[in-house]
Structure 1
Amino acid sequence: MDTKPWLQFYPPEVAPAFDYPKQNLALFLVTSAQKYPWKPAMYFMGKMITYQSLLDSAYRMANALRSKGVKKGDRVAIMLPNCPQVVISYYGALLAGAVCVMTNPLYMEREIAYQMKDSGAKIIITMDMFVSRVEKVIEETKLEHIIVTSVKDYLPFPKNLLYPIKAKQAGPLPVVHYGSRVHAFKQLLAASPNDPICESVDAERDLALLQYTGGTTGTPKGVMLTHLNLVANTVQSANWCYQVEDGKERYMAALPCFHVFGLTVLLNQAVYRAGMLILVPKFEVAMILDLIKKVKPTLFPGAPTMYIALINHPRIQEYDLSSINACISGSAALPVEVQDKFEELTKGRLIEGYGLTEASPVTHANPIWGRRKIGTIGIPVPDTEAKVVNPETGEEMPVGEPGELIVKGPQVMKGYWNRPEETFDTIRNGWLFTGDMATMDEEGYFTIIDRKKDMIIASGYNIYPREIEEVLYEHPSVKEAVVVGTKDDYRGETVKAYIVLKDGAAPDPSGLEKFCRSQLAAYKVPRQFVFRDALPKTMVGKVLRRKLLEEEEEGRPTG
């Protein structure tokens, strides 16, 4: 108990350890479909899809991928928003024994090319509106096939008929040239058999997922997550929500499934519990409130920005949110006033947790119906060890003293894809060095006090300044650029760029923004540009980001 003081705060319903089935992660779907074939697995824009139907489609996708040459261990990229196709593709790829590469649909060509080349993906499954971006870079990659779907493919009648008319009003419909390398999602499934297929795996060694994260270097790295990593984290986080009933819950899926938090606490957990995923392709407050009214979700994992947007909606008092029993907030610090206000509106529980891609991602959470401490990330989840150590020596720090948070457990990654040196630096004797500075109190509750050196978290997205700086340096008028995160009441943090212009160049913030938008996903584009004559630097010429942030916080002029 001395080494794990947090165990005394485990609710009696949560065991400190569990057995994790050493199986293909996709067997969760097979099991739930056998137990609850007619229960709804997904709700999308008014259409319900049962577990039986989802499994049938996943088998068809697995067989389709096999017919296109996918073998065990091959990488399949999935670049889709939250819609039935992302769930079908994910489980289809896993059943076929492939490794999923979840790709952000907001990515621009440069970002897509890097991820496809680094992962060596053979196939990408995406939407018609994103195809042109993929096609522009396909020759740089090992992609052999593109499988293309459309929003209308899974819309209910008559929305499926009206969709092209509505979409046309927003601009020209995307033109897709189908052929030997480009296949239509629905036709491909219809032409493939639904023969049961589930590749056997060595769950501790075989990968289920390559999830890209920027790390502190700014160069995205593929985090290798095994079937057992994801099975374990699904079971750990599902048991933390011990009041959940199999076959009865409705999960508000507003977190994107291409993000590891959404993947584990929504997609994997809902299927493990045979719950219904209410799929939301884009977070819009009015749509979320209408869905809550209509479909009555019971669980709503999210990022603080989502809860902030809801509680600040001008007509929030007109909505009944009482169906929501529990919410786990992750990806950024949860303000106390947001927690209080949201709980007042729902009468449910909103708790803060912590995780990182390298841990599948959940490692800590406050007890949902037990002792929670506001402002902390809570306590380690079952089978998870955590401690605070001196970042230089690795020695454990005394209670209350800050140091680096390190964690150990069955959810910790196998390593970084093709990066043995960085893996060696990050995992030592089974301990994952998070790079986050934290403290632990005498009861075993942890508090994050500072994040990985320079990373920005805006609206739940991890943003790495170096990547944006590299794009800014490509602009002909930019001499020097440094990017920092500044506090933002809504996004948590927002991206701010400090620019030193070349001689003779005039400040042009809108031109710089446009340039960035052509190279970066929208959430990475700086919201503010500050033009300076010089940047604060060390003796060796390294820019002092911390100095810029201090000036920002003190309200001193930074221009």
Structure 2
Amino acid sequence: MKQTFLVHNDIVYTYENLLDDLNNKEIYSTYIYVQDNNPYEIFLSIIHSLLYDYPIEILDGDFSEKEIDELGLNVGNVLMTSKITESSHFLHFDEVMQQIQAIEKWHLTLYTSGTTGRPKKVSHTFHSFTRNVKKHNKLENDVWAFAYNPTHMAGLQVFFQALLNQNTLIYIFGESLKNVPTLIKKYQVTNISATPTFYRNVLPYLQDDIYSIIKRVTFGGEKFDAALVVKLNSIFPNAKITNVYASTEAGSLFAARGDEFEIKAEYQQLIKTSAENELCIHYSLLGASLHEQQKNEWFHTGDLVEMVDQNHFKFLSRQSDMINVGGYKVNPFEVEDLLIQVPGVNDILVKSKKNSVTGELIVADVVKDSKIDGKELKIAIKKFAVAHLQEWKVPRIIKFVDELPCTRTGKKVRK
């Protein structure tokens, strides 16, 4: 049986298909701009660039011409192609893997989300993308549910983890949530990596069954959710659940079984916090293109953390997400962590609204269980909030929504 590389929209691409397409690919571009974000075309282009050791720049397929222009790029240049002058022919995919390991000049450039201004270009080498990839014979039969945007850091790291072990990817990013259980069972998925928001959205469709074959569940991109982990443990009883801290600038650096991230011994001198408790990372751990942009040795991440001890920290909030209510600082994640415990609350987003008296006030957008009465739930949320939160942290406005808007990376939109 031919080994599957990727399943997308019921189309199965084998490693043999991938090998044939790599051998036949004569035209290439130094930009990956696949307008329908077709993951196979994206992955094929990345592997091709690795084989021929040329740098690439990756863009979201739904970028408009205006967005491309705002990145400082010319659409004509983005769409420009070239022809391979000296192509190679590979008989087996193992030869492809050997060639990839020998690259020297390759780097991939992607963009930060731009939440604090114009997106920054970040270039990563093969080493910085794969420094935390685990490669072992015991991983060769892993099947990954791919639940991230393939043009962003988290998705690319899952891609490299799967590729270097010649695993199978089942593409569920953007898939109808009700179809996810069927795909997990049909393709015997063993590993899932996604944002907490994705897990919360898909949970209602998973709760009628136990998925004992799942051995690893990874989440990142958003704050740790202890209540979510309890639910995931009940559905995936044999899974090791890992919380990952990663960024476009630095890639994946820290992991945790709960909410305490461990700083590995080799990073001890390369991680610190500022006087304002902002996590700072030494420039040597950043993508190659950021080395030259740094004005000093330390990159300020914008993440506020609590140091548990010299080897462990907890993520508190994005500095830009903090809400100022009458001079009091409110961490929206703290409010969410509490109110998600109210029975009937499936998901919640806490944000701010401008107010002439307090400057800002707290708003909670709630996705409720369809079986729960809205009026009763609103009363329950208010009562629970008043009993457990300081007065200025209590949401003044509670709105019920069908779903929470997400960014291209699958994270909640807080503003």
Query: What's the TM-score, normalizing by structure 2?
Result: 0.70
Letter in 2 for 1:94: L
Q: Is the 8 A contact 2:3 2:15 kept in 1?
A: yes
Aligned residue in 2 for 1:209: 108
Aligned residue in 1 for 2:273: 389
Report the structure number with the largest CA radius of gyration: 1
Paired with 1:284 and 1:406, the residues of 2 have a C-alpha distance of 38
Q: Does residue 119 of structure 2 align to residue 220 of structure 1?
A: yes
Q: Does residue 299 of structure 2 align to residue 403 of structure 1?
A: no
The one-character-per-residue Cα deviations of 1:200-230 (angstroms, maximum 9, x if unpaired) are 9874xx4521110145641111112122211
Task: Call closer, same or farther: CA 1:301–1:274 in 2, change over 3 Å.
Answer: same
Aligned residue in 1 for 2:44: 88
Match for 1:437 among 304, 322, 334?
Answer: 304
The one-character-per-residue Cα deviations of 1:430-461 (angstroms, maximum 9, x if unpaired) are x44323121222372210122142599xxxxx
Aligned residue in 2 for 1:362: 252
Q: Does residue 77 of structure 2 align to residue 142 of structure 1?
A: yes
Aligned residue in 2 for 1:195: 89
Letter in 1 for 2:164: Y
The one-character-per-residue Cα deviations of 1:37-74 (angstroms, maximum 9, x if unpaired) are 9432222344433323213313433x322xxxx5xxx4
Match for 2:174 among 274, 282, 289?
Answer: 282
Measure how far apart 1:79 and its partner are: 4.6
Q: Does residue 211 of structure 2 align to residue 321 of structure 1?
A: yes
Match for 1:424 among 294, 301, 306?
Answer: 294
Aligned residue in 1 for 2:193: 301
Aligned residue in 1 for 2:24: 60
Aligned residue in 1 for 2:8: 44
Task: Call closer, same or farther: CA 1:92–1:494 in 2, change over 3 Å.
Answer: farther
Paired with 1:247 and 1:200, the residues of 2 have a C-alpha distance of 18
Query: What's the TM-score, normalizing by structure 1?
Result: 0.53
Measure how far apart 1:381 and its partner are: 5.3
Paired with 1:357 and 1:339, the residues of 2 have a C-alpha distance of 25
Paired with 2:45 and 2:347, the residues of 1 have a C-alpha distance of 30
Task: Call closer, same or farther: CA 1:199–1:248 in 2, change over 3 Å.
Answer: closer
Calculate the aligned-residue CA RMSD, in Å. Answer: 3.9
The one-character-per-residue Cα deviations of 1:72-96 (angstroms, maximum 9, x if unpaired) are xx44444553532221122123333
Between Structure 1 and Structure 2, the one with more strand by share is 2
Match for 1:99 among 39, 55, 72?
Answer: 55
Q: Is the 8 A contact 2:145 2:170 kept in 1?
A: yes
Q: Does residue 227 of structure 2 align to residue 337 of structure 1?
A: yes
Task: Call closer, same or farther: CA 1:491–1:109 in 2, change over 3 Å.
Answer: farther
Task: Call closer, same or farther: CA 1:201–1:113 in 2, change over 3 Å.
Answer: farther
Task: Call closer, same or farther: CA 1:445–1:305 in 2, change over 3 Å.
Answer: same
Which consecutive residues of structure 2, in runs of 5 or more, have no partner in the other structure? Answer: 91-95, 324-330, 341-345, 364-390, 399-415
Letter in 2 for 1:311: L
Structure 1 vs Structure 2: percent identity of aligned residues? 19
Q: Is the 8 A contact 1:77 1:102 kept in 2?
A: yes
Paired with 2:267 and 2:23, the residues of 1 have a C-alpha distance of 34
The one-character-per-residue Cα deviations of 1:454-478 (angstroms, maximum 9, x if unpaired) are 599xxxxxxxxxxxxxxxxxxxxxx
Task: Call closer, same or farther: CA 1:325–1:411 in 2, change over 3 Å.
Answer: farther
Q: Is the 8 A contact 2:36 2:62 kept in 1?
A: no
Task: Call closer, same or farther: CA 1:285–1:216 in 2, change over 3 Å.
Answer: closer
Aligned residue in 2 for 1:109: 65
Letter in 1 for 2:263: P
Q: Is the 8 A contact 2:352 2:362 kept in 1?
A: no
Q: Is the 8 A contact 1:210 1:224 kept in 2?
A: yes
Measure how far apart 1:409 and its partner are: 8.6
Aligned residues: 345
